[in-house]
Amino acid sequence: MTDQKRIILKPIGYVRTKAAGDEVKDKTQTSQIVIDSEFSEAIQGIDGFSHIFVLFWLNQVSGQPKTLKVHPRGREDLPLLGVFATRTKLRPNPIGLTLVELLGVDGNVLVVRGLDAFDGTAVLDLKPFDFWDMAEDARVPEWWTKLNREKSGHS
């Protein structure tokens, strides 16, 4: 039913950051999101929210992954899981989703903390975070808890 469909997106801006390599995973680092001038009106009022979701294109990944299963963070001591059970970049549609703190807005530039995206990454959408977006009583699997004890950032 959906096989024939193709969905076309256009970036609304891009990420600017000095962080490189694994530094982008450091949740304390700040980045900028530069909104394309044609969309600058669309951020009006976003500063009423302290946190936003950033949807971005994992553009260092090209083509469709050959495998649909991964070990979280490539660790073979952790279970082999479907990609939709993880936050791996190797997804059929490599869209990244990260909750960030919105520190400020200057013209068409948003300053955010905690965005794990590389310099130049295409941004697809911004959504304000509200209390429908959280589940305080959420259950996560053991492998997630184990990884989280060891490091910080998404699995």
In this structure, what token pair is assigned to residue 149?
Answer: 């004890």
Token pair in block for residue 104: 């400020």
The one-letter amino acid code at 76 reads E
Question: Is the Cβ of residue 117 or residue 154 nearer to a second copy in the bound state?
Answer: 154
Nearer to a second copy, 73 or 144 (CB): 144
Q: Give the gyration radius of the chain's Cα atoms.
A: 17
Q: How far is the CB of 22 from a second copy (least distance, A)?
A: 16
**18: which residues sit within 8 A by CB, 6+ positions away?**
119
Six-digit token string for 41: 């009106």
Quote the DSSP letter at residue 106: E
| Least distance from a second copy to the Cβ atom of residue 28, Å | 13
Residue 117: CB minimum distance to a second copy, A: 13
Q: Which residues pair with 142 in a beta bridge?
A: none
Instruction: Give the residue with the Cβ less far from a second copy, 17 or 155.
Output: 155
For the bound state, the minimum distance from the C-beta of residue 21 to a second copy, rounded and expressed in Å, comes to 20
Residues 6+ apart with CB under 8 A from 139: none
Interatomic CA distance for residues 56 and 62, integer angstroms: 14
Pick 21 or 93: Cβ nearer a second copy: 93
For the bound state, the minimum distance from the C-beta of residue 65 to a second copy, rounded and expressed in Å, comes to: 9
C-beta closer to a second copy: residue 19 or 35: 35
| Contact assessment for residue 33 and residue 123, using Cβ atoms and an 8 Å cutoff | yes
